[in-house]
């Protein structure tokens, strides 16, 4: 009798399973299939939008850093929306899922405060563009040519070919000096001569040296003035303007040329010196 009951209950369980599969199983199968279709199609659309946006921005000569950063952000945002839509189609309650993701995001954010700060700084760099790839900047205690602007870090190369990986938060937390932002720069130099030399003659010599250099711009006009009566010399400030790319060439060539010209004209370039007076004390 017990065996008959067990057999009967077993048959009922199998029949119930078959009934459930025939009704609910097909329904769940359709939902899962629809979720897969939503994910595949959504991923394709997200990739298409990203590639189309990248192509459009590149045709308009948008900064490469902005192209990479912007297209990546849009792609990931679209993919998050696709995943949520697929999960919702299966039948899961997305409200609780969003709450869980929010709590997890908060915990991760607290653990990665530094990385989030770098990310936020990267967004500000992309938005306000204080510098671009190829600029020579001095920021965060480091100076070099910008090679890459990333989401978290900026990569620079120093004049002696060192690679610097600088966190974006360090760059945005202080002053940013963009050396190559403008097409022209003023070259600030100083020339010291003896108190016994003819100042008008020296000024004419400096003017001739500056005028002979084709890299020096005539507008704005070079400035040559007596700036200081120092302890051992009379100092001239020499301030010509040139193209930014010619800055160091003008600076270095002037140092050599002005020394040679002053020597040939008999003008002395003094060095710091002191007069020492000795007094004889009677009986010693």
Tens of pLDDT, residues 31-62: 778 878 888 888 898 888 888 888 887 777 76
What's the pLDDT score for residue 111? 47
Structural domains in the chain, CATH included, are 2-111 (1.10.287.1260), 131-178 (2.30.30.60), 184-264 (3.30.70.100)
What's the pLDDT score for residue 77? 82
Sign of CA dihedral 17, 18, 20, 21: positive
What's the pLDDT score for residue 179? 92
Whole-number Å distance between alpha carbons of 156 and 168: 12
Cis, bond preceding 154 (omega within 30 deg of 0): no
Nearest Cα neighbor of 54 from 44, 45, 66 is: 66
Q: Provide CB contacts within 8 A for 95, sequence distance 6+.
A: none
Q: What is the pLDDT of residues 234-243, one digit of tens each?
A: 999 999 999 9
Q: What is the pLDDT of residues 66-99, one digit of tens each?
A: 677 677 778 888 888 888 787 777 766 666 656 6
Whole-number Å distance between alpha carbons of 34 and 57: 34
- What burial letters (b/e) apply to 73-107, b meaning 16+ CB within 10 Å? eebeebbeebbbebbebeeeeeeeeeeeeeeeeee
Residue in the block written with tokens 């204080």: 130
Q: What is the pLDDT of residues 261-282, one digit of tens each?
A: 999 998 888 877 677 777 777 7
DSSP H or E run through 44? helix 26-59
Q: Which residue has the higher pLDDT, 137 or 19?
A: 137
- Mean of all residue pLDDT scores within the chain: 81
pLDDT band with cut points at 50, 70 and 90 for residue 189: very high
């Amino acid at each position: 009798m017990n065996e008959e009951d067990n057999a009967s209950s077993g048959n009922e369980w199998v029949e119930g399973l078959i009934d459930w599969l025939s009704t609910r199983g097909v329904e769940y199968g359709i939902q899962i299939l629809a979720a897969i279709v939503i994910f595949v199609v959504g991923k394709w659309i997200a990739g298409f939008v990203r590639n189309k946006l990248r192509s459009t921005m590149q045709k308009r000569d948008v900064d490469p850093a902005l192209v990479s950063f912007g297209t990546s952000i849009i792609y990931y945002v679209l993919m998050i929306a696709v995943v949520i839509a697929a999960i919702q189609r299966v039948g899961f309650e997305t409200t609780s899922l969003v709450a869980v993701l929010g709590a997890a995001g908060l915990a991760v954010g607290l653990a990665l405060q530094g990385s989030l700060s770098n990310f936020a700084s990267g967004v500000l760099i992309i938005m306000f563009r204080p510098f671009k790839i190829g600029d020579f900047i001095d920021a965060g205690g480091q100076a070099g040519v910008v090679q890459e602007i990333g989401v978290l870090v900026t990569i620079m190369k120093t004049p002696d070919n060192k690679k610097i990986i600088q966190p974006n938060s360090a760059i945005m937390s202080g002053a940013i000096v963009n050396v190559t932002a403008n097409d022209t720069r003023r070259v600030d130099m100083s020339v010291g001569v003896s108190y016994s030399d003819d100042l008008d003659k020296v000024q004419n010599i400096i003017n001739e040296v500056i005028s002979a250099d084709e890299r020096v711009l005539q507008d704005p006009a070079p400035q040559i003035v007596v700036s200081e009566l120092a302890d051992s010399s009379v100092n001239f400030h020499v301030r010509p303007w040139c193209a930014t790319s010619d800055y160091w060439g003008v600076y270095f060539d002037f140092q050599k040329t002005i020394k040679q010209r002053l020597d040939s004209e008999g003008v002395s370039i003094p060095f710091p010196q002191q007069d020492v007076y000795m007094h004889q004390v009677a009986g010693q």
